[in-house]
Structure 1
Amino acid sequence: MTAAATSAAAPPALLHSVGDRALTWLDEHREYFRLTPDDRATGRAVVERLKPIGELAINMQVLFREGVAGSRQHARAGQLLDFTWRELLDGGNVLAELQHDEPFSPVPLEIYATFHELGLRHPALESAVEVSRRTLTWPALDMVPSRRLGVLNAERKMGLVPSSDFDAAVSGTWLGRLPEPWTVQFHIAYDVTHTVFHLTNWGAAPDRIPPEIASYLTLYLPAWMEDWANLEHWDLLGELLVVDACLPRPTLDAQTWERYAAAQSASGAMPEQHGMPDGDAAEVFDVVHHPTLVAAFASAMAISRALSAG
């Protein structure tokens, strides 16, 4: 009998606590997401600093979408989304500037697609993106298969004609080939999680996971989660917990979630690996903002699945 069939599910209260604490920390540290004048000096720096802003937007969208946030969480998530669009991205102007400077970067499209789903618009950015998408260069851009899925999912979110075949892109990923499970390494594991994220539109459509991939993950994901929990790599474990929540029959394994919750700091921040780092506030933020965003994401998805199962 598999671990998925024998494990007890984590109680919703524990799942909620992880997300609520993570959201509190993110809200209290929102100013650290801002682009600095130095960041905006070069396009490359802007791209690197925009990644956490885009992740913040996606995670707040998930909280709204899943409908599991309490009134306080709902208000915080809404305020953070408004802050992200109006202040961090200047109503989309930051993305439009990057699109102008780097017309074949998919980053503006990938970040903007989240806000487009939420009903926010920047017509000039959309026009500029469409000019780039009409070129032969756009579908020919070299990128790893899981990243290609991210671009295709952003196009799908925008209601655009896909620049290449989605199913073919899935087949080209590591996960799509259903390889030997013991060959999973650190970067491969992250590719696995992002393949699932893009397949399901960040957990919105779990049914989009092909049955053979869902069966493969159901069989091997529990062992992968145990391995990364033993290594105390909380960032990757959090992403794998999201994958678990996207499966037809998620385990929501109580022991794994208890270990994950115990790793969370009193402030609500989730360390990347082992314990919280030392350093000034900005340096600590750079290290822990991603695992903390992942904790909020994993919590929302797990609560949603736990409540729907109940």
Structure 2
Amino acid sequence: MTVTAASLAYPASPALLHRVGDRALSWLDAHRDFFRLTPEDRATGSATIERLKPIGELAINMQVLFREGVAGSRQRTRAGALLDFAWRELLDGGNVLAALQHDEPHSPVPLEVYAPFHELGHRHPGLEAALEVSRRTTTWTALEMVPNRRLGVLNAERKVGLTPSADFDQALARTWLGRLPEPWTVQLHIAYDVTHTVFHLTNWGEAPDRIPPDVAAYLTRYLPAWLDDWADLEHWDLLGELLVVDACLPRPTLDARLWERYAAAQAESGAMPIQHGMPEGDPDVVFDQVHHPTLVAAFASAMATSRALTTDAG
């Protein structure tokens, strides 16, 4: 019998898992104003798109927190206030997305950012009408993008209640993960492709059963080694995303050893560095460097805490 790190793993305590997310949410709330688009951002379409993505990720995180039911009353209040702030102040009730849709009618970004807000009850009829016009063009389905991004567009369409513009199974088959390649070929960008394929396939962890059995078996077998590798490299952003993937598997490990290392990397403020330790410098620059791994920490925490309370890990 071969003894592996995965076979020796024991699950982290729900208290540890929850604490990571609580601290991350505190940091995100305290730094909410840094998500704002600046006049310089608005003057440049590409800059606007880059600044909108974190707002969409913030909304997804709040949605996951509500959906998984692991937030205490204080967390729920804070998450609700953050979501309202994002919709009303950061996106001007959706007008920012509608303006981008007008300027770049075939960009999928307005749809992708709008989708979690729509699921949570927010509406912008003008944006939805403009999206329908764009989706009727051949260009909408002919746009060239990496396969896991195509999955993301299909999932966003589904979230908004639209008929997906392509077949999910065929889109999955075109991804790296869908082809079940040699696991030792995984490098940084491929690992991120893997995590985002799982995110879009499961609607950000809502439906883990959408992972086909052969893909789930592949991940169950090889994910522990990838987790160890990126933990050893102290790449906390990618490790956090891989921990979400673990939480989406039929029998998540929720490995305490990895979660303890991950939690130890988190700053007292609740921020999570991308890799190694926290950066220093101008607050705006630091925010740009750590907001994504901190959002990932909140996401991973909510998913892992939920699975720890509802499934048998291991």
Could you tell me the TM-score, scaled by structure 2's length? 0.98
| Cα separation, 1, equivalents of 2:116 and 2:32 | 19
Shift of 1:2: 4.8
- SS at 1:151's partner residue? helix
Aligned with 2:12 (options 2, 10, 13): 10
Shift of 1:119: 1.2
Shift of 1:3: 3.8
Equivalent pair of 2:251/2:311 in contact (CA under 8 Å): no
| Cα separation, 2, equivalents of 1:166 and 1:158 | 16
Which residue does the alignment assign to 1:166?
Answer: 168
Which residue does the alignment assign to 2:150?
Answer: 148
Which residue does the alignment assign to 1:52?
Answer: 54
Equivalent pair of 1:89/1:95 in contact (CA under 8 Å): yes
Which residue does the alignment assign to 2:219?
Answer: 217
Equivalent pair of 2:27/2:269 in contact (CA under 8 Å): yes
Instruction: Quote the sequence identity (%).
Output: 80
| Cα separation, 2, equivalents of 1:198 and 1:217 | 16
Equivalent pair of 1:196/1:209 in contact (CA under 8 Å): yes
| Cα separation, 2, equivalents of 1:208 and 1:104 | 28
Q: Specify whether residues 2 and 248 from structure 1 end up closer, same or farther in structure 2 by C-alpha distance, changes over 3 A only.
A: farther
Shift of 1:161: 1.3
Deviations 1:230-269 (A, max 9, x none): 0000000000000000000000000000000000001110
Amino acid aligned to 1:132: S
1:112-191 matches, within 5 Å, as 112-191=114-193
Equivalent pair of 1:2/1:219 in contact (CA under 8 Å): no
Deviations 1:159-191 (A, max 9, x none): 211111110000000000000000001000000
| Cα separation, 2, equivalents of 1:222 and 1:262 | 19
Shift of 1:5: 3.5
Alignment of 1:230 onto 2:222: no
Shift of 1:146: 0.3
| Cα separation, 2, equivalents of 1:3 and 1:212 | 22
| Cα separation, 2, equivalents of 1:87 and 1:110 | 18
List gaps (5 residues or longer) in structure 1.
Answer: none
Which residue does the alignment assign to 2:25?
Answer: 23
Aligned with 1:72 (options 71, 74, 79): 74
Which residue does the alignment assign to 1:275?
Answer: 277
Equivalent pair of 1:252/1:302 in contact (CA under 8 Å): yes
Which residue does the alignment assign to 1:198?
Answer: 200
List gaps (5 residues or longer) in structure 2.
Answer: none
The runs of 4+ residues in structure 1 deviating greater than 4 Å are none
1:97-116 matches, within 5 Å, as 97-116=99-118
Amino acid aligned to 1:98: L
Aligned with 1:258 (options 260, 266, 279): 260
